[in-house]
Structure 1
Amino acid sequence: MDVNVLYDEVRKWYALTPPAIAVVSFFVDAPFGRFSLSENVALQFDGIKSWIVMEVVSPIMFISSIIKAPLSSGTQTPPLQFSLKDPRALLALLFIIHYSNRALISPLRSPSRSKAHVIVPLSAIFFNTVNGSLMGAYLSSPRAYSFLSNALSRPSFWVGITTWVLGLVGNILHDEVLLDIRRNAQKKEKDKPMDKNKRQKPYYGIPKGYLYRHISYPNYFCEWIEWAGFALAASPIPALSFAGLITAAPPWLFFLSEVFLMTPRAYKGHRWYHEKFPEYPKERKAVIPFIL
């Protein structure tokens, strides 16, 4: 199959699959984190190790796809220059920075994570293989080269970059609040006598401060802001139609897939907070301030 045809087919299914999964996700919990299964269920893996394995796939496929530049074969498109004067290289750097934090820095700093059923890392590996490959193929493509040729002098490019930075900082900041809850709980438990054969479970509490005053999942919300900014900088805004969806560039598809896939988990996690903590603030929304 011609590589351009394959790219378009994969991109089309990448556009159509997340909305369908989102519908299912309102009824079925992904078995990890707050919704992890009981200890006696088979095929469960360490939460931190499985997270690293499944998330590191995305930058690996991204870098591999950029180097191979499959959509530029037989064209006059210059290869991506590893210089910040090349907007494609700047965008590639932002992608790698995000996944350096997501796949390595954040999990390695986490005191603990609940076990994940094998279906979770397998699904994530598939998603990250597709997403990383599409993003790398796009950034090294003639279309991206054409769109970004004058990007450094275009205000929308810098608005997108600034939005990405704000989203990343917000994502890390709110993740840190959750990590502090676990660290503080771990300190309190440190001096208590414990059965060495009993695995310590991750601790959950009510997060407070920053956007947690308004929503239960500001880390999700900030990640959406981050990738919306990236998409704005990297590719044309798609038309608000079905045709626009299935022909959108991968940066926009990544942003939309995050919204579709994370909204159900945020909604159900928001309900979980209310069920587990009677004192949980009733005025908080789930993931979008004052709206949802």
Structure 2
Amino acid sequence: MDSLLSWLFSSEEEELNMLYSMACLMVFMAACTFVTLLFENVPYGRYATSKYGFPVNVRFAWFIQELPAFLVPLCLVFWTSSAKTSQLPNQLLIAMYFCHYVQRSLIYPFLIRGGKPTPFVSFALALVFCLYNGYMQVRYLSHYAEYPPHWVTHPCFIAGSMLWLVGWLMNMHSDHILRNLRKPGETGYKIPTGGMFEYVSGANFLGEITEWAGFALAGDSIHSLAFAIFTTVVLANRAVAHHKWYLTKFEDYPKSRKALIPFLF
């Protein structure tokens, strides 16, 4: 894989500049996505329509679209001259990334129960994002990111790591609640309860937003920050859309429950 990167980039400086440009582009795309989502929900699940292409089986879609976020970083770590992987901060940050995407790409798709097909456009965009972001995050961390001595004891790293862990656990627990809403043979939608769902409609989304916000704080780079910003834009829209849908669908939906931020929003 080193030979491929050498063919693509004439020098490490050129690749580093490209990684920086990719992060800036992701922030720009987050802004564009924010404006777009003011007028339309992310087309998936209950919001899917035929205008976004033919339907793709939801398990297949999740597995294939998330797989590049795991495989590309895996190749970058083990089949390139990853000069920074011997450094503890880089190791821990890469481990955080892999901890999420091993579960998301290799485990989560096979735990899905039912689920509506994913429109092809949504599937394709998610696949491109996972490929793009997987390369950007892990290439920077494995080969370029330099942290000061004892960065792992810095308040930013400690606070970010704790946020990441809280978000990861919240996301996993919320997904577990959603998977078990229906008993075998049941259909239709139900009101999720338990965990952070007692406070917000988008508990799973809040978990993932918290996770990548912590990753950005611990990583202290424009690359991790761009990822956190983009994730927040997309998932906040989903949380708000879900909250509005629940309020419309269920007359007995808890009125004190917020969309994304407990007690506030």
Tell me the equivalent position of 2:197: 212
2:162 aligned with 1:162, yes or no?
Answer: yes
Specify the code of the residue in structure 2 equivalent to 1:109.
L
Please state which structure has a larger fraction of its residues in helix.
Answer: 2
Give the corresponding residue for 1:192: none
Cα distance, 1:155 vs structure 2: 3.7
Give the CA deviation at 1:15.
Answer: 1.1
CA distance in 2, matches of 1:107, 1:92: 22
CA distance in 1, matches of 2:152, 2:95: 15
Structure-2 residue corresponding to 1:198:
none
Residue of 257, 260, 263 corresponding to 1:284: 257
Aligned pair partner of 2:46 in 34, 38, 46: 34
The DSSP-based 3-state class of the residue aligned with 2:25 is helix
1:11: Cα distance to partner? 1.7
The question of whether the paired residues in 1 share the 8 Å contact of 2:62 and 2:109 is answered with yes
Match of 1:43 in 2: 54
1:139 is matched with 141
- Contact 1:69 1:140 survives alignment (8 Å): no
Determine if contact 1:171/1:222 at 8 Å carries over to the other structure: yes
Greater CA radius of gyration, 1 or 2?
1
> Which amino acid in 2 is paired with 1:33?
G
Aligned-residue sequence identity (percent) comes to 27
Q: Once the two structures are superposed, what CA deviation does each residue of 1:215-258 show, in whole Å capped at 9, x if it has no partner? A: 100111111111111122222xxxxxxxxxxxx52111111111
Alignment of 1:58-137 (within 5 A): 58-67=69-78, 78-81=83-86, 86-137=88-139
Residues 1:148 and 1:122: Cα distance change in structure 2 (over 3 Å): farther
CA distance 1:269–1:155, shift in 2 (3 Å): same
Q: C-alpha displacement at 1:265, in angstroms?
A: 1.7
Q: How many residues align?
A: 253
Mapped partners of 2:193, 2:240: distance in 1: 18
Is 2:85–2:143's contact at 8 Å kept on the other side of the alignment? no
Structure-1 separation of matches of 2:89 and 2:15: 24
Which position in structure 2 is the counterpart of 1:7? Answer: 19
Equivalent pair of 2:52/2:121 in contact (CA under 8 Å): no
Scaled by the length of structure 1, the TM-score of the pair is 0.79
Contact 1:54 1:125 in 2 (8 A): yes
Superposition deviation, residue 114 in structure 1: 0.8
Separation in 1 of the partners of 2:199 and 2:162? 23
Q: CA deviation at 1:125?
A: 1.1
How far residue 188 of structure 1 moved from its aligned partner, in angstroms, is: 4.2
CA apart distance, 1:41: 8.7
Deviations 1:58-78 (A, max 9, x none): 1222233445668x8xxxxx4
**Counterpart code for 2:73:** F
Amino acid across the alignment from 2:214: G
Task: Give the counterpart letter for 2:37 in structure 1.
Answer: S
Q: Secondary structure at the match of 1:215?
A: coil
Q: What is the Cα deviation at residue 154 of structure 1? A: 2.5
**Residue in 1 that maps onto 2:238:** 265
For 1:95 and 1:69, locate their aligned partners in 2 and report how far apart those are by CA, in whole Å.
18
Contact 2:152/2:158 (CA < 8 Å) preserved in 1?
yes
Distance 1:260 1:30 in 2: 11
CA distance in 1, matches of 2:209, 2:234: 11
Q: How far does residue 148 in structure 1 lie from its aligned partner after superposition?
A: 5.0
Q: CA deviation at 1:209?
A: 1.5
SS in 2 for 1:204: coil
- Give the letter for the 1:253 counterpart: A
SS at 1:177's partner residue? helix
Q: Normalising to structure 2: TM-score of the pair?
A: 0.87
- State the match for 1:238 in structure 2: none
Structure 2 residues without counterparts, runs of 5 or longer:
1-8
Contact between 1:224 and 1:258, CA under 8 Å: does it hold in 2?
A: yes
1:279 offset after TM fit, Å?
Answer: 1.5
Contact 1:181–1:203 at 8 Å: present in 2 too? Answer: no
